[in-house]
Structure 1
């Protein structure tokens, strides 16, 4: 694949790889040996357009290429006009509360053209509102907004009511109305009572209505013309180190998401989790600790069977041919950047010099190759 990058983009990729991380927004230039996985995710994207819901869990050792693959999938999703949410399990988010999941999704949104900068809730509606403002028929704006509200009211009436007030605030340029309704719709709970009463907002997001809100939001963005919602949650293995009760709640929530997806209740939505193989191998604290979850994930995995269509996708090190192609592309990146190589080694020479066959992970191969190629810079 011939690269068509600017010099500064090539330098950005090389610097990211030099530090052992995936180059955000540019990963598609270095994806080798993962065609089966990418084909499967393209299949999933087509299914989302048709109203399906899917859960995928990507596992692999540190350095196996999880982050690289996930970033490439994010790029594909954004280019395909999906709204994505991206965040990770940490001290503030443990997946043990569904309302925390909703809050994390609504505060970590990204959309096409944002260059991996977070998108505000308001910005998702900009194009739709612009089209409404220029509608050829005087009452089209009102009819279309009412139609959308009627559709999302099937999931939660309070959500639909808040969204209607949000739209009024946008159209009337009432900043307070926009701010209050946006806070309510995105899961904020500490909204003063008098402001909620002023704008006819009832209750707040909690464990009893979170899934209804999530279904309503997923339906909403599809009605706006996006192809669906894809949620990426990294560092899922952090759950293993949590308290037993938190861990059990998190795994039960994961099981519940799988059930909702399989039943078709979460239309036009996808959840992509990623983490280390401890999730699969730790019988005491991993997925196997909850039998209902392990059964749904078809665990333990058969080491002789690798099928990306399954819920769990376990990544091994890419093939030698794929590594050779990767290093070839890396050398080309060096030639594109402002500081080209003084001498052009062959990919075979690079792999032989760094003793690639004895390096355990793809990340080790790449970082060692970059270290070696840096010695040829003018």
Structure 2
């Protein structure tokens, strides 16, 4: 088994997994047991390329591979020429708020925009300049000017007018200010005015707090806020598609943080926002937008605090009654991530060993039989059947490889026997589960 992994990917894989998080790049090299989900996802991407939009909910227990799956989806979508972005829900950001928390989520999305040549994010400026160059070329052709002439100051307004016209054709809500800010970015771009470019990016990322400041710096009357950020995401989607990209894909992880919103009214407002986005996508009110939301079963099914507490969502997201563990329906909005089996875990650990050895440029003296011994030891520990997750298995295995790299003389069997199983579920989720009993 030889993996065609790049040094940068290997470093990201090992360092991230040892830290208990999913690597931003390289996950395709260590993927096992998700071929059916990926095949269905590729089919869904084809639909979005053709102008449809959709929302998918990826549901699984803590440590079951939800975040891993979203990163894999990113990799697949980038290869299909999608613009992608990722963001985590946290106690400080959400889809709906009246105190800036929704804007924090929007800013994270804009900061993390990625394309195939910049898969780690930070691609917004690159995309803007690419779109501007396309507008410049079109304007030059329409006015029988060369690409050198069109950049002269006397033709600045020609290009600015074309930018405004193009944006107005693409957008519905907030298009005038959106176009005005992109024109300012063009001015900064053509005149090497870094401050003007930074200010334009600040506005596009929702980082202006007051209309007065935005008007002083950019001459626009509005700012992006908690209430209009979703319209701006739709504007960006149309902009990216006009450049030749297949669409815009957003991956929103850790949706359990919406479930954990303490105020029932605010929690319901967030679920109402999910419903609005869901309806927009499946009723054809927005094109080429693909949103993936990852959360736990509690987030989905809990009828007091989860999505199922909001009847309009429950009726849309209930599982196909004909689905079983053997007969899966990957076309429905909710995809439940089933645990990968022990054979798949074994293949995964072998892949991780190979990536580890590639990263450190050495060989670790641990055989396939010893990997199986490690698995038998960890899966037979007290509490393993209830609490053990793939994330725990991966981290423990890599920790052992790390110890053996630095202490090759150690007894591997003794290391295996020292493993302990812990319940990694958040305390507040456990308490809420107890309350439900």
Asked if TM exceeds 0.5, the reply is: yes
Out of 358, 365, 369, the residue aligned to residue 343 of structure 1 is 365
When residues 193 and 51 of structure 1 are mapped into structure 2, their CA distance, relative to the original with a 3 A threshold, is same
CA displacement at 1:133 relative to structure 2? 5.6
When residues 264 and 336 of structure 1 are mapped into structure 2, their CA distance, relative to the original with a 3 A threshold, is same
SS in 1 for 2:332: coil
CA distance in 2, matches of 1:97, 1:112: 32
When residues 163 and 333 of structure 1 are mapped into structure 2, their CA distance, relative to the original with a 3 A threshold, is closer
Give CA deviations for 1:203-249 in whole Å, capped at 9, x if unaligned.
Answer: 23346644433322210111122222111111101112212111101
Matching residue of 1:111: 115
Which deviates further from its counterpart, 51-60 or 357-366? 357-366
Give CA deviations for 1:290-341 in whole Å, capped at 9, x if unaligned.
Answer: 0101111125976645322221111121123322321232232344343533
When residues 153 and 260 of structure 1 are mapped into structure 2, their CA distance, relative to the original with a 3 A threshold, is closer
Alignment RMSD (CA, Å): 3.1
Out of 269, 280, 285, the residue aligned to residue 305 of structure 2 is 285
When residues 342 and 122 of structure 1 are mapped into structure 2, their CA distance, relative to the original with a 3 A threshold, is closer
CA distance in 1, matches of 2:401, 2:13: 14
CA displacement at 1:191 relative to structure 2? 4.5
CA distance in 1, matches of 2:311, 2:221: 38
When residues 160 and 36 of structure 1 are mapped into structure 2, their CA distance, relative to the original with a 3 A threshold, is same
CA distance in 2, matches of 1:108, 1:12: 17
Give CA deviations for 1:175-215 in whole Å, capped at 9, x if unaligned.
Answer: 45434443333334434637527854232334664443332
Residues 1:258 and 2:278 are matched in the alignment:
yes
SS in 2 for 1:21: coil
CA displacement at 1:269 relative to structure 2? 1.0
How many residue pairs get aligned? The number is 376
CA distance in 1, matches of 2:201, 2:391: 41
When residues 281 and 174 of structure 1 are mapped into structure 2, their CA distance, relative to the original with a 3 A threshold, is same
Residues 1:171 and 2:190 are matched in the alignment:
yes
CA distance in 2, matches of 1:117, 1:292: 35
Structure 2 alignment gaps of length 5 or more: 151-158, 409-437
Matching residue of 2:332: 310
CA distance in 2, matches of 1:111, 1:128: 14
When residues 224 and 2 of structure 1 are mapped into structure 2, their CA distance, relative to the original with a 3 A threshold, is same
TM-score (norm. length: structure 2): 0.75
SS in 2 for 1:354: helix
Matching residue of 1:268: 288
Q: Work out which of the two has the higher radius of gyration on C-alpha atoms and give 1 or 2.
A: 2
Matches within 5 A, 1:185-334: 185-191=204-210, 193=212, 196=215, 199-206=218-225, 209-242=228-261, 243-298=263-318, 304=325, 306-334=328-356
CA distance in 1, matches of 2:270, 2:332: 21
CA displacement at 1:371 relative to structure 2? 4.1
CA displacement at 1:372 relative to structure 2? 4.4
Matching residue of 1:34: 34
TM-score (norm. length: structure 1): 0.86
Contact preservation (8 Å) 2:12, 2:25: no
Contact preservation (8 Å) 1:148, 1:223: no
Contact preservation (8 Å) 2:249, 2:290: yes
Give CA deviations for 1:148-184 in whole Å, capped at 9, x if unaligned.
Answer: 2232244444233443443344334444543444333
Structure 1 alignment gaps of length 5 or more: none
